[in-house]
């Protein structure tokens, strides 16, 4: 009879421990913001609109960017990877044309996204064929936006857009 009582106490305790572990894992993973597809952001970039309330940055070579971001002037970007640029509409058009020419025929055609904090607050806009990032919000409205990982070759994808393993030939 004693063994039954001990095993009955063990089940709720084990269940509680497993639940706590799973919840703590999910809390630990929810630390970064990211990108949300946005047709309005897409339109803004495709119409070569430079908005006055934003600071613009690029990642990649000057004139040949892999990504362009616009960060709301209420936030301060903390990153040595993004380079600031004062766009004119004509210059923005040329840079985005390069991206369209380079990636437009692949499954990674450039698109517009809203950049959001871990809490879902918009901090800026992103235009790139690379559609993911991590966003961290620091003290005093400082924001860190990770640049895209451009090591992956966009043409090494299968019909569904999944990564293909490199050939061993």
Domain boundaries, the chain: 1-30, 34-145
DSSP 82: S
| Token couple for 78 | 């903390």
pLDDT at residue number 17: 44
Query: pLDDT, tens digit, for every residue of 59-68?
Result: 999 999 999 9
Residues near 32 by beta carbon (within 8 Å), at least 6 away in sequence: 118, 134, 135, 136
Summarize pLDDT for 105-119 with one digit per residue, the tens.
666 789 999 999 988
Q: Tell me the pTM.
A: 0.71
Q: How high is the pLDDT of residue 14?
A: 47
63: phi > 0 → left, psi -120 to 50 → alpha, else beta; which? left
Pairing relation of β-strands 142-145 and 76-77?
Answer: parallel
DSSP 165: P
């Amino acid at each position: 009879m004693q063994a039954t009582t001990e095993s009955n106490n063990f089940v709720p305790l084990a269940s509680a421990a497993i639940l706590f572990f799973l919840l703590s894992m999910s809390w630990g993973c929810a630390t970064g913001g990211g990108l949300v597809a946005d047709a309005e952001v897409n339109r803004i970039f495709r119409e070569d609109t430079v908005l006055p309330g934003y600071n613009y940055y690029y990642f990649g070579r000057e004139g040949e960017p892999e990504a362009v971001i616009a960060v709301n002037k209420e936030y301060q970007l903390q990153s040595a990877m993004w380079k600031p640029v004062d766009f004119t509409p004509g210059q923005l058009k040329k840079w985005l044309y390069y991206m369209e020419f380079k990636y437009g025929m692949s499954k990674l055609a450039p698109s517009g996204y809203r950049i959001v904090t871990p809490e879902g607050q918009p901090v800026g806009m992103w235009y790139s064929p690379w559609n993911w990032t991590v966003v961290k919000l620091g003290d005093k409205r400082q924001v860190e936006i990770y640049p895209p990982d451009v090591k992956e070759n966009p043409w090494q994808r299968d019909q569904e857009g999944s990564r293909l393993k490199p050939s061993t030939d």
